[in-house]
Every structure is written in structure tokens, then in C-alpha cells.
Amino acid sequence: MRKKYAIFDVFKNEPALTAGIGGLLVFGLLALRSIAPDIFPLYYVYVIAGIVSLIIFSQIEFDILLLFSKHLYVFVIASLVLPLLIGEVTRGATRWIQVGAITIQSTELIRPFLILFFANFLVGRNLNRLNIAKAFGLLVLPLVLIFLQPSLGVAFLTLAGFIGVSLSLEYNKKLLLFIAVGVVAISPFFWFILAPYQKDRVSSLVSPVSDPSGVGYNSIQSMIAVGSGKLTGRGLGEGVQTQLSFLPERHTDFIFASVAEEMGFLGAFLLAMITFFVLYRVVRILEQAKSPTARAFASGVFTTMFLQVMIHIGMNMSLFPITGQPLPLVSAGGSSLVATMIMFGILFQVKKKEGYTG
């Protein structure tokens, strides 16, 4: 009997994180069943795929994954090229590959593997200008392919993962200053490579009411949804903004606003608390990791997820521009769900490898 269920032993080292992940999945399914029942039962396939991915990657030794990190990088590049060749065009973007009834977004699926690759690539190297130039070159290639699809939000999270890995390294402070000055110097040029609709989203943040039926529409409807929920919400299935589709992308980009309307401040607060509890457990793994590479990977995961959560919630409350970021494990999005579960699966393996508790 012991051997039969040994596959789940890895989760016993981190019961709190396991409970947090389960809580977010249940919360997401509860909300989605109310605001987007039409995505079921197909969405259960993604949930099962995510759970299976979590289990599989929690069983693969972290050192073995590192051995194949270069191969995973090649897989990443091939996965980003494929949608440009055979991808489905949706609202002007070519990010999705249709396989029967299943839709795959490769830009989401590759993020855990890029973090793993850069953690392995940067740790232990002499971080001179040559090696940093190589790292930036390896980063620019996937970023360009993501921009071509285009997906500004995913490109930003990919960059965030790289920065998270970099922050865990030991480096010369002068070199850090050199990198910071370089980033600041080139940052204004990003405005010129943004698509017109992306520039409009940034501009609408200042005054969404200036174009209430155009670029400001999403922000206004989101604010109405969040405010109308009050303390306890209108009730599941009773939200006006969500059920009557005034709120666009209510089950993906604006699921936090949907939860706030139907479950109120209390529901939204509970969702935020579970999410930040999960992030706290990731920090605990990061703090106690003995392996520099494992610590770098955990740092990249935390940075990516933390910014994703902050951007999503801030966007839903009209504090940030609309960038189309899902809320991890809660928003509908099969590829995002599977990618996040892969990240957690690797983190469970990190915890098992390090052999600590707490």
C-alpha cells in the first residue's frame, strides 16, 4: 500500500502549498461555473491536464530537468515559431494552435521552461559583460517571437521571469548599475514598437471616461462590476455586468472583477488572500533552497506570478493598463493553467530535493 501511493509523498512536504493550489482551483471552478458555464465540460479537460502535469513534474528530479534545459530551450523556440506558421488568427493575434476541440497557447506553456533554462544558464557563470550579452541574446529571441504574435503581456512576464532569476544571483554591483542604465536608456523605445491598440490602452488609463464606448470601455465596466458587488456580492449567477456580458472577457482577463460583483468584497478579499498565501509559500521555498539553481528558479517563478497577480488585480481596478493577464489558476485559460501547474510541480521537486520543512 505504501508503494502504491508513494507518488503523492512529494506533496506531504508542502501541505500548505498543496492546500493553497487546491483552494484556488476550487475557487476558479466555482466562479467559472457561474459566469461562463458554456466552457464546461471541456474546461475540465484542462484542469485534469494541469493536475496530471503537476504530478508528473513533481516526480522528475530537478537535476534531470537541468540536464535537459538546453533541449527545453530549443523546444521553446520551436513552440513559438509554430503558431506563426499554422496558428489560428483570433482578434488580430496568432497565438493559438487548434488541436481538435483543444486550443493550445504556446506562449503560456513555454514560460516554466524558459525560467528553468536561464536559472541553469546564469548560475555558476562568471557574470562578465560577454556572458550577460549571451544571456540577453538568448532572451531576445523568444521575446521577439512573442511580440510577433503579438502578446505584450506574456512578453512582459517572460522578461520578469528572467529578472527574477537574475536577482537571485551574486554579481558585481557595478555590473548591476551597467544593466540598469542600459534598461533605462532603451525603455523609451518600447513605446514605438507598441501596436496602436496597445498605446490606446496605456492612454486610456489616465482618463477612461474620455472614450467610454471605445478604449475606456473595459476599465469603466470593470470598475462598475467591482463597485456593485459591495460587501457580500449580488450572488452567484446574479451579477448584472457578468451575466449580461457588459463586462468583456469576464472569465479570463476580468475574473477578479466578476468575483467582486457576484461574491462581493468578502469573496474578492478571500480570493486575494489565498493567492498571496500561495505566493508566500513560494517565498518560503525560495528562502530555504540550498541549491543556487533551485533558488534562482524559485525566484523566477515568484517574480512572474507576483507581477501577474498584481497586474491582473490592478487592471481589474483600473490601476494598470489593460494587458490581458489571467489570474493564475482562477481565470479560464487551459494553457496558462497547465503552465502554472508545471511551475508548481517543479517547485515541489525542489522542496523534496532540499529536504527541509517549514
pLDDT in tens, 12-67: 778 999 999 999 999 999 999 999 999 999 999 999 999 999 999 999 999 999 99
Give the distance, in angstroms, between the CA of residue 125 and the centroid of all CA atoms in the same chain: 28
CB 316 within 8 A of CB 254: yes
Residue with cell 517574480: 303
| Residue 49 contacts residue 113 (beta carbons within 8 Å) | no
pLDDT digits (tens, 9 = 90+) for 322-337: 777 899 999 998 899 9
Q: What is the mean pLDDT of residues 214-221?
A: 74
Is the pLDDT assigned to residue 206 strictly greater than 60? no
| Mean confidence (pLDDT) of the chain | 84
Residue with the larger pLDDT of the pair 317 and 3: 317
Select the more confidently predicted residue: 317 or 92.
Answer: 317
Top-confidence range, 84-93, 128-137, 212-221, 295-304: 295-304
Q: What percent of the chain has pLDDT over 70?
A: 80
Distance CA 344, CA 342 (A): 5
The sheet carrying 93-99 orders its strands as 88-90, 93-99, 102-105
Write out the H or E segment, with its range, that includes residue 95.
strand 93-99
Amino acid at 116: L
pLDDT at 320 over 80: no
Alpha carbon dihedral 46, 52, 55, 60, in 10-degree steps, equals -110
Burial state string for 25-61 with b = 16 or more CB within 10 A and e = fewer than 16: bebbbebbebbbeebeeebeebbebbbebbbebbbee
Residue 352 has pLDDT above 80, yes or no: no
pLDDT digits (tens, 9 = 90+) for 165-204: 988 887 655 556 666 666 666 666 665 666 665 566 555 5
Between the alpha carbon of residue 131 and those of residues 174, 175, 305, the distances in Å are: 15, 12, 27
Percent of the chain with pLDDT over 90: 45
pLDDT on residue 93: 61
Q: Is residue 100 scored above 60 in pLDDT?
A: yes
Q: What is the pLDDT of residue 125?
A: 78
Please report the DSSP string for 24-63 in residue order: HHHHHHHHHHHH-GGGTTHHHHHHHHHHHHHHHHHHS-HH
Q: Which of 255, 250, 287 is nearest to 272 (CA)?
A: 255
How sure is the predictor about 276, in pLDDT bands with cuts at 50, 70 and 90? Answer: very high
Question: b/e string for 204-227 if b means 16 or more Cβ within 10 A?
Answer: bbeebeeeeeebbbbbbbbbbbbe
Q: Are 354 and 289 in contact (CB under 8 A)?
A: yes
Cell of 265: 468584497
In 97-235, alpha helices (H): 106-109, 111-122, 129-147, 152-167, 173-186, 190-193, 196-206, 217-228
What average pLDDT does this structure show over 291-306? 94
pLDDT at residue 65 in the model = 94
The pLDDT tens digits for 236-263 are 988 888 888 888 888 988 999 999 999 9
So what's the pLDDT on residue 1? 44
The residue written with cell numbers 521577439 in the block is 144
Residue closest to 45 by CA, chosen among 340, 346, 258, 337 = 337
Identify the three-state secondary structure at position 94.
strand
2 pLDDT band, cuts 50/70/90, is: very low
Q: Partners of 287 in the beta sheet?
A: none
Residue whose grid cell is 528572467 = 162
- C-alpha radius of gyration, the chain, whole number: 20
